[in-house]
Structure 1
Amino acid sequence: MRHFRIAVIPGDGVGKEVIPAGQRVLEAAVAGEAELAWHHFPWGSDFYRQTGSLMPPDGVEQLRQFDAIYFGAVGDPPHVPDHVTLWGLLLPIRKQLDLFVNVRPIRLLPGIAGPLRDKNPADIDMVFIRENTEGEYAGVGGRVHVGTAHEVALETAVFSRFNVERVVRYAFELARSRRKHLTSITKSNAQRYGMVLWDEVVQRVAQDYPDVTVTSLLVDAAAALMVRAPERFDVVVGSNLFADILTDLGAALMGSLGLAPSANLASAPGMPSLFEPVHGSAPDIAGRGIANPIGAIWAGAMMLDHLGLSEAAARILRAIERLTQEGTVLTPDLGGTATTEQVADRVIALLQD
């Protein structure tokens, strides 16, 4: 039997509800095939209120010894500002472990009524590849004349040829394994340095993938096209900010932000990758037991697949699809009345059918 050490950071809000639900599903999926040794870390806003930090100074070093990281959510507005929570926990992990690419599947699951009335699951099936450590989230900038009428804030996006190329190349490889179409999201008509470099890298890497069709879209046009003709997208690659925004639009097309998973993949072999739902801490429903666990369960399936437990991951996805097709055990965000635990229970039951 294979053994894996998983760092679990439920974090804040509904993260503390959906991650335990996801753990139960993962345990059921790998039973008899692998052992998942969970190591819990109480990092997040509660830890911040106790210690003044979102995680210990050596927090990232502690994570290096694990095979993967299962992450819930971070954020406790208005008690702790979002820029404090994000930059105090998730972004340092991404940067220091060099989790260079963020993978976000966007699919309309069977049985789910998305907001686009004329679109079906065959029309909404794309994967976003998001640059994950630089761009608009590089953290380069500052403020001067603070507190005066002349206060100035600078936020500088950073694009390195090395980093853009490895993310773009990852996207091309994925496109080659799917429908052989890649869309690059840009804004080089207005951002003539970073985005022009981005376009140049895409054009250069495309020469190595003559079998992949490449389309370049300005981010505003891409947003409109995702609503009007989502079937035009297969694999989409974008900068940290652009892909972050467009994937939330994609989650809306899926029918709920609670359905959306993601993987933050490490560049170095042996370094843990991080897997998380993208819905955030959802403080408005935290503690009520009604948060949708499907995004967390799906993210867990991506983790299993990354660890080489591909059949278990596939069984989870099939169970999720059967659950949404049935339509009887769904949380309120999908029009149902089920609790977080009831959804997890049903997924486990479907795994065993």
Structure 2
Amino acid sequence: MKRKLLYLSADAQEAKLFQAQCEEALEIIHFNNPKRLLAWLDKGEVIHGILNSAGLASPLGLNLIKLLRQEKQVNVPVFWILNTNASPKLKALLIAAGTTDIFYQTPAKEQILHRLNSTSALNEFIPPVPAPKVYTNKMAVGKRVFDIVFASLALFCLAPLFLLIGVLIKLESKGPIFYYSYRVGTGYKIFKFWKLRSMRQDADQLLSSMKDLNQYRTTQQEAPSQSLALCASCIRQGTGCQHKLYDAQGQMICENQFQIMRKNESGSAFIKIANDPRITRIGRFIRNTSIDELPQLYNVLRGDMSIVGNRPLPLYEAERLTTDQSASRFMAPAGITGLWQVSRRGKEDMSEEERKALDVEYAQSFSFKKDMEIILKTIPALYQKENV
């Protein structure tokens, strides 16, 4: 009987390629939706392993694996495919979430079978096992105490301002005063991120039609080679493809070439639009003065964020930061203000790479003293002329 391997990926084509490669030895069951996966498992289905190629911050990422391990008591090997080598901290995060092994390219079926044969959990995910210890970056006590005191006093003093701005928002456009979206913070934690609404109600639906206005857009995409069979690296080696994949029709494609195509389709990691037409008049004012960010003081009280840290990212941005260097930004506290805001905030000539570098710099060197310096620099940076 074939062993059942769950393949978690938002990319259906990627799953089909792997399924075609392994169909003789494994039954590959693809899921691109966590709700469907959980409903399927609740039926008592027997599985023998999980292969995850989703982004760490995606709905299929770390939080889902933690849920499967800790609440659903899924006790089978979990294999993760990364695009590049992981740092010790990132490895610790993956292992603590319940990852059994890490691959840096799509594994061959022989590798998966070997890993399955070398584990004791081959038949099903019952009986339950103790939940693994979750890796977290705990804040220093002084930083957390400062956050609580600062946020509490600020919310008390700003209550009249919230009332005034709320009335103005309601008078200009229909919809709620407060707005939340899901963001990715420290250790890839996903949480509700609160702001005062500054956009039209249909802002999210309009985003896909405005990619050409993205300030961080890539000016020149990496062009794929003319042939889908071999990438430039394979051609230079002159020894044939070293990383073969096969599609559902049995046609060979180089995995490196396939990843280049996926990267070109995904676009830039960050999205920021100059003179965004979705923003209302009162919304432009509260954005330029950063008043729209004040509800995040509530996130600080909850422990989702700190006063100072790297900005938590929307899911669609976090999913694209897959390199080890970029992932290190998530090892720092998520914050309302940070190094990026006081260094180059809103400047039109800021590149995506520069912003990534500032986030990584803070993650590698943050301290309470540096946080105080950033807070002092934040006040003159609050008002910006650029409409971003």
Question: In which range does the TM-score fall when normalised by the shorter chain?
Answer: under 0.3
TM-score by length of 2: 0.25
Considering Cα pairs closer than 8 Å and 6+ residues apart, tell me whether 1 or 2 has the greater RCO.
1
- Greater strand fraction, Structure 1 or Structure 2: 1
Larger radius of gyration: 2
